[in-house]
Structure 1
Amino acid sequence: MSNPNLIALSEAGVSVWLDDLSRERLESGNLVQLINELSVVGVTTNPTIFAGALSKGTAYDKQVAELAERGASVDQAVREITTADVRHACDVFRATWEATDGLDGRVSLEVDPRLAHDTDGTAAEAQELWKAVDRPNLMVKIPATVAGLPAITKALAEGISVNVTLIFSVERYRAVMDAFLEGLEQAKANGHDLSKIASVASFFVSRVDSEVDKRIGALGTPEAEALRGQAAIANARLAYAAYEDVFASPRWTALAEAGARPQRPLWASTGVKDPAYSDTRYVDELVAPGVVNTMPEKTLHAVADHGKITGDTVTGTAESAQEVFDALADAGIDLDDVFAVLETEGVDKFEKSWAELLETVTDQLGRAKG
């Protein structure tokens, strides 16, 4: 039976996606169970998730042995292993994709994070991944770096569905939405069916509190301490207000009339980092129509067990959210620097995970060769 908390979340307009994927999860039937029991309608992956999956168990041994016998390079092996999992997941979600007319049932696969500052390389890899997976419910993840923005436009212009990742600031989010609109305008000019192109904008949440709270602790003032734990939710609520603004514009209306769908906000990094906070706060406090919340399995089960879903907790909160930001600035928190640091750290973490993934596959190929 489906869980009432997750049903309530879905009925409030939030698409529940799982932030995890592994071959074991696919082959054991666990993913299907989460779809049936916890209202999961999509999956996101990233280099850290794949690095963890490849380092555990024996689920990949057979494919690694076949790759080793063929003499595949490490990069080829990583590509084939990850696209195989994503293709399988796309097939698992095919019924959801069809039932929601392509809104959900989406599976995301990220471009090589080493390309985060390479526009042409990112755009080329997005095309390669799109062709390699060869499933209409795939989303290619592209980071919202300065170099990533034109790559997002290029991918969308070719009819590729895109999950824009590593968004931290509302300013960068507006640039992402502009890249999305430009991509759809080019896709229309290229003759693509806009109704077939989907996109989400992954706005990272918990990491904002982690960085801001650290700085609040360093300041140590009563004014700063009073703002602990408020930055991330305020930031996401301001992002939602920006989304409402852009997708009510005449520019968007013209695309919608041509069949386009809006780029939905996606709340990412929703696992709580600070044990002092409720483990469901980045779900309970960010309920709004037309958004996605992608959760680690631990958070998903916490919401199922004791989430407090009370309807829309975002719409109309922009003014109070801005007051939080103004107070943070007055207390001495440089939010522009916070977001710059988080983006740099985000890219670095994914590059490190990618290096770990390559190292793991190198070792596995070596053992398979004997």
Structure 2
Amino acid sequence: MSTPTEQLSAAGVSIWLDDLSRERITTGNLAALIADRNISGVTTNPTIFAGALSKGEAYAEQVASLAAAGASVDTAIFEITTDDVQAASDIFRPVFDATRGVDGRVSIEVSPDLAHDTAATVAQAKELWAKVDRPNALIKIPATKAGLPAITEVIAAGISVNVTLIFSLERYAAVIDAYLSGIERARAAGHDISTIQSVASFFVSRVDTEVDNRLKAIGTDAAKDLLSKAGIANARLAYELFEREFASDRARTLLEAGANVQRPLWASTGVKDPALPDTLYVTELVAAGTVNTMPEKTLEATFDHGEITGDTVTGNYGSAHEVFDRLAAVGVDFDDVTQVLEDEGVEKFIVSWHELQDTVAEALKASR
């Protein structure tokens, strides 16, 4: 009998772990998850690194060395996080090679403080790429309005990108355009476009949290009947958009020249409502050529009791459109929902980034 994670992989879904720490790397835990849980990549963000560093012990020696060298807080963060991403990338290198560069990917994010600064985002993305110096890295850039031209610029430079914090179909369409523009420019500049990979991280559970709060406030039976349906419907319509855009003449021309599709990635897949099945955002979003990045709790739940029944996306476009018609009918302003979520998403990562800075500052001070 194959395991649910094996079945999910066989259905064309790449399982990435939404977590990284030095302890996972040095204890062999990461390698074990590749072997036993079918993970084929890792995503990180400021919250994850803040959590890892707050535990501290695994980083003590490096922090002491950085403190002795007089490193600033931001330099220390840069060195510590890129070291972890380098080491994880090396562990995933066999996966990268076996999948011809599609998987085996490890993501590292530009500073959230730069989310509204295009030029600074581009500069730091290039700096991170050069420092990590691994072909299987992905540089995470948020899909803010300032992030869109940065995505194009960074991809044009031949750098692989994980676009994060996507909530709306409108913004997702702009992300695909930014990717294709970057590939067009990379090709014109003579880069080998077959080596450039990108994923577009579409957030799921946060959509349900925000929409459900609004539905509960509306309070009608029609509103209550829509609880916990918006996140999955939104993601399914994102896949419909992905299929349509990458079948366009523009995309086909690039694909025939060796470009890769920009895969949809389901992010924020940990279930926040305890009344819902803990594998909901995994089993209901199975589609070929996608990535599902999971916190370990969701990964273990999927391995233990996830019911993988094949493609649960492409046959459900009609019902997904219906959900959105009904949301509009009961008075949910989805444009406002997605703007609130983007603003909150950036702000949460900024808060985590500052917590990370505080944690490192304290560690450096203690070492000195």
Q: Normalising TM by the smaller chain, what interval? A: over 0.9
Equivalent residue, structure 2, for 1:142: 141
The residue type equivalent to 2:215 in the other structure is I
Q: State whether residues 51 and 354 of structure 1, in contact with CA within 8 Å, keep that contact through their aligned partners in structure 2.
A: yes
After TM superposition, list the pairs within 5 Å mapping 1:276-355 onto structure 2.
276-355=275-354
The whole-number CA distance in structure 1 between the counterparts of 2:221 and 2:201 is 33
After TM superposition, list the pairs within 5 Å mapping 1:1-370 onto structure 2.
4-369=3-368
String of CA shifts for 1:283-314, please: whole Å, max 9, x gaps.
00000000000000000000001101000000
String of CA shifts for 1:170-204, please: whole Å, max 9, x gaps.
11000000000000000001100011000000000
Give 1:4 deviation, angstroms: 1.1
Q: State whether residues 45 and 109 of structure 1, in contact with CA within 8 Å, keep that contact through their aligned partners in structure 2.
A: yes
- Percentage identity across aligned positions? 65
Give 1:3 deviation, angstroms: 6.0
Paired positions, count: 368
Q: State whether residues 67 and 365 of structure 1, in contact with CA within 8 Å, keep that contact through their aligned partners in structure 2.
A: yes
Give 1:316 deviation, angstroms: 2.8
Indicate the SS of the match to 2:57: coil
String of CA shifts for 1:144-195, please: whole Å, max 9, x gaps.
0000000000000000000000000111000000000000000001100011
Q: State whether residues 3 and 37 of structure 1, in contact with CA within 8 Å, keep that contact through their aligned partners in structure 2.
A: no
Give 1:318 deviation, angstroms: 1.5
Deviates more, 1:317-326 or 1:142-151: 317-326
The residue type equivalent to 1:36 in the other structure is A
Indicate the SS of the match to 1:289: coil
String of CA shifts for 1:110-136, please: whole Å, max 9, x gaps.
000000000001011100000010000
Q: State whether residues 285 and 314 of structure 1, in contact with CA within 8 Å, keep that contact through their aligned partners in structure 2.
A: yes
The whole-number CA distance in structure 2 between the counterparts of 1:305 and 1:4 is 8
The whole-number CA distance in structure 1 between the counterparts of 2:292 and 2:26 is 24
Indicate the SS of the match to 2:40: strand
Indicate the SS of the match to 1:20: coil
Indicate the SS of the match to 1:292: strand
The residue type equivalent to 1:81 in the other structure is I
Give 1:225 deviation, angstroms: 0.3
Indicate the SS of the match to 2:55: coil
The whole-number CA distance in structure 2 between the counterparts of 1:31 and 1:38 is 10
The whole-number CA distance in structure 1 between the counterparts of 2:226 and 2:191 is 47
Indicate the SS of the match to 1:312: coil
Structure 1 runs of 4+ with >6 Å offset:
none
The whole-number CA distance in structure 1 between the counterparts of 2:197 and 2:3 is 28
Structure 1 gap ranges (5+): none
The whole-number CA distance in structure 2 between the counterparts of 1:318 and 1:249 is 19
The whole-number CA distance in structure 2 between the counterparts of 1:266 and 1:157 is 21
TM-score (norm 1): 0.99
Give 1:319 deviation, angstroms: 1.6
Give 1:330 deviation, angstroms: 0.3
Structure 2 gap ranges (5+): none
String of CA shifts for 1:19-77, please: whole Å, max 9, x gaps.
00000011111000000000000000000000000001400000000000000000000
Q: State whether residues 68 and 365 of structure 1, in contact with CA within 8 Å, keep that contact through their aligned partners in structure 2.
A: yes
Give 1:257 deviation, angstroms: 1.1
RMSD of equivalent CA atoms: 0.8
TM-score (norm 2): 0.99
Give 1:317 deviation, angstroms: 1.7
